[in-house]
A and B are shown apart, each in its own frame.
Chain A
Amino acid sequence: MTKETIIKELKKVAGADKDKARLFADVIRDIIVEGLTSDGIVKIKGLGTFKVIEVKARKSVNVNTGAEIEIAAHKKVTFTAENQLADEVNEPFSNMEVVNLGESGETVKKEKKPAEEKPAVAEKEIEKVPETSDADIPKEDEAMRRLDEDAESLKGILAMINGPLTVNQENQEAEPEQIEPVVNSTIHDEQEEEVVEQKQPVKPLALAVTYESDEPVASVPVVSHESLQTVVPEKNYESTMQTRPQSIDLGPAPKIKSNYWKTVAIIVALLLSGGVAVWYLFLSDNALDFGRGSKRITKMEKPKMSAEEKEKARQVELERIKEEAREMGNDEDDSTYVYTGIKKPGNNEPLPDGNALAVVRVKDGDRLMSLSKQYYGHKMFWVYIYEANIKKLRSPNDLQVGMQLVIPRLDPKLTDIENVESMEKAARMEARYLGN
């Protein structure tokens, strides 16, 4: 604002001619300064309050010389806008609210390095193990062998399905990972330990590779543990314990060498493998997916029902969200894009194709926010991941190790950190999911 603009504006006011207007522009500053010096405060209606505050002396550094200097105590003028003006200025962010992120701040701090694709070698090595051991011990579960055969056949079917749609190498390599059942975290850990210990003396190469990939395959190596454990000499067993990398967290059980614990471990492992087999054959959601057109269909009736119910619930949710988006009147297309992308009927686990950026396996310490940060560059977009996996997650904190999560491919507009609207949208969704 220059004097000219204010003079121009003042001329419109009745009773204020050009000279008066100019005079006003000249004196108003002096009047305000006078008010500030005498009262220390000047209130202007419609604008706000100018106030003089004391500033304490403080130390500072001369940026040129690096010498320490002291800034003497002085007064300064501050300004507080009137509520109405403040609201008008804050217009762009006016619809944003404080969001409760839940207990403690560890979710924000934790961050994991990006999950890397498994090297092809690792896949092969791991797959070989059960075959050889199967030959050695025909006594081992029939179910387990069938499981492997099924996995093979399913892979074939899948390749046929995916074949025409430009399957890339990675897709196929990632396959066994998806077939294998997702085990609840504690079980998973235990199996992991056993697998690691027992395999080491027999196949050091395979083990090294598994470490590299850092993603132990639960269903596969379980087969061999009984026989191998008897083969392993005591000393070897101990030495492997020492060379083990620290990143794998071991329970106290294997450290006790007594036979009692060994037998207990064997029994537990057997129970687990049996459970996994049963789960895989009868209850697995994955089986439903990949079993299309195969002999499994009769067994699938029960899960299918529940899947339909879930689908219904999702439809309702979808409707609600669409409506909301319409109300907001912005980015409607984007939101529908997200949902339709994930909601493929009859396909519970979308493959990493056009709709999914990736399928991640949850590791210890992973959070939706850390995944979001990793894939979209900002933690605020975790809601989209949550949305894409809402079937599996009862709540945003329901992540379990070994779980497979789909990272949806989002419109870049939606995940633009610079864009205020996209951030607001994410914040709104976040508020809804957190129940605020």
Chain B
Amino acid sequence: MNNKELQAKVAEKVGVTQKVAGEMLEAMVKVVTSEVKEEGSSLFFDLGVLEVKTKEQRTMFNPNTGQMMLIPPKNVLGFKQYATVKNLIN
């Protein structure tokens, strides 16, 4: 399901035009991203938690060139599903 299909679905269920549905989705995304950026995590409705995780720096060995590389730390946005969702999709 891509963004367009999602938009159409929302429009259908809520009873608004697709344009408004798109705006609603945008507003929702705005809330989620700002929360993620400011607080590091966001409860994504009842689906799960969007969370910023910090990956430690690590060394990597390239067996072809025989060189050690130092990979810097990284922040990654991850998602942890709720158990209810797990039951729903299984």
Q: Is A10 an interface residue (CB 8 A)?
A: yes
Do B27 and A9 touch (CB < 8 A)? yes
Question: What is the chain B residue whose CB lies nearest that of A424?
Answer: B72
Cβ contacts under 8 Å, A67 to chain B: none
User: Is A108 an interface residue when CB atoms closer than 8 A count as contact?
Assistant: yes
Cβ-closest chain B residue relative to A32: B47
Which of A47, A48, A76, A97 is close to B81, meaning CB atoms less than 8 Å apart? A76
23 A-B residue pairs with Cβ-Cβ distance under 8 Å, sorted by A, are A1-B44, A5-B31, A10-B24, A12-B27, A15-B16, A16-B20, A16-B24, A20-B20, A28-B45, A32-B45, A41-B1, A43-B2, A47-B32, A74-B90, A77-B86, A79-B78, A81-B77, A85-B77, A99-B72, A100-B67, A100-B68, A101-B70, A427-B72
- Knowing A13-B20, A77-B81, A102-B68 are in contact, say whether A27-B10 is a contact too (CB < 8 A): yes
> A47 — which chain B residues lie within 8 A by C-beta?
29, 32-33
Nearest 4 A-B pairs (CB), nearest first? Answer: A79-B79, A35-B1, A96-B72, A101-B68
B47 touches A10 (CB 8 A): no
Assuming the A-B contacts A29-B47, A41-B1, A88-B37, are A75 and B28 also in contact, with contact meaning beta carbons closer than 8 angstroms in the complex?
A: no
User: Is B85 a contact partner of A85 (Cβ separation < 8 A)?
Assistant: no
Complex Cα–Cα for A103 and B61 (A): 9
Question: Quick one: CB contact mask for A46-80 with B, threshold 8 Å, 1 for yes?
Answer: 11101010000000000000000000001111110
The chain A residue with its CB closest to the CB of B45 is A29
Q: Which residue of B lies closest to A41 (CB)?
A: B1
Task: Mark out the residues of chain B between 7 and 39 whose CB falls within 8 Å of any chain A CB in the assembled complex.
Answer: 9-10, 13-17, 19-20, 23-33, 35-37
Q: Which residues of A contact B6 (CB under 8 A)?
A: 31-32, 35, 42-44
CB <8 Å contact, A104 and B46: no
Q: Which residues of B sit under 8 angstroms from A102, Cβ to Cβ?
A: 67-68
Number of interface residues of B (CB under 8 A): 60
Q: Least Cβ distance of B32 to chain A in Å?
A: 6
A132 interface residue, CB < 8 Å from B? Answer: no
Nearest chain B CB to A55 CB, angstrom units? 10
* Contact among B30, B68, B75 for A89, CB-based, below 8 A: B75
Give chain A's interface residue range (CB within 8 Å of chain B). 35 or more
Apart from the given pairs A15-B23, A36-B1, A79-B78, 12 other A-B contacts in the complex at a CB distance below 8 Å: A1-B35, A1-B44, A9-B31, A38-B1, A76-B86, A79-B77, A86-B76, A89-B52, A93-B72, A99-B72, A101-B67, A107-B68
Interface assignment of B64: CB less than 8 Å from any CB of chain A? no
Cα–Cα distance between A392 and B74 once the two chains are bound (Å)? 36
Which of B30, B33, B70 has most chain A Cβ within 10 Å?
A: B70
Residue of A27, A89, A97 touching B76 (CB-CB under 8 A): A89
Known: A15-B20, A23-B14, A101-B67. A1 touches B29 (CB 8 A): no
Q: Which residues of chain B have C-beta atoms less than 8 A from A90's C-beta?
A: 74-76
Of A14, A29, A31, A74, which is within 8 A of B23 by CB?
Answer: A14
Which one of A1, A34, A85 has the greatest number of beta carbons of chain B within 10 Å?
Answer: A1
Please measure, in the bound complex, the distance between the C-alpha atom of A338 and the C-alpha atom of B32, giving whole angstroms. Answer: 44
Decide if B70 touches A35 in the complex (CB within 8 Å). Answer: no
Chain B residue nearest to A74 (CB atoms) is B90
A residues in contact with B42, CB < 8 Å: 1
- Cβ of A31 and Cβ of B10 under 8 Å apart? yes
In the complex, A301→B53 CA distance in Å?
60
Of B13, B15, B75, B77, which one neighbours A92 at CB under 8 angstroms?
B75
Q: Which residues of A contact B76 (CB under 8 A)?
A: 81, 86, 89-90
Q: How far is the CA of A44 from the CA of B24 in the complex (A)?
A: 12
* CB-based nearest A residue for B46: A29
- B23 in contact with A13 (CB, 8 Å): yes
A256 is an interface residue with CB less than 8 A from chain B = no
Question: How far in angstroms is the closest Cβ of chain B from A123?
Answer: 40
Residues on A with C-beta less than 8 A from B17 are 15
Return the CB mask of B56-90 against A: 1 if under 8 Å, else 0: 01010100001111111111111101000110111
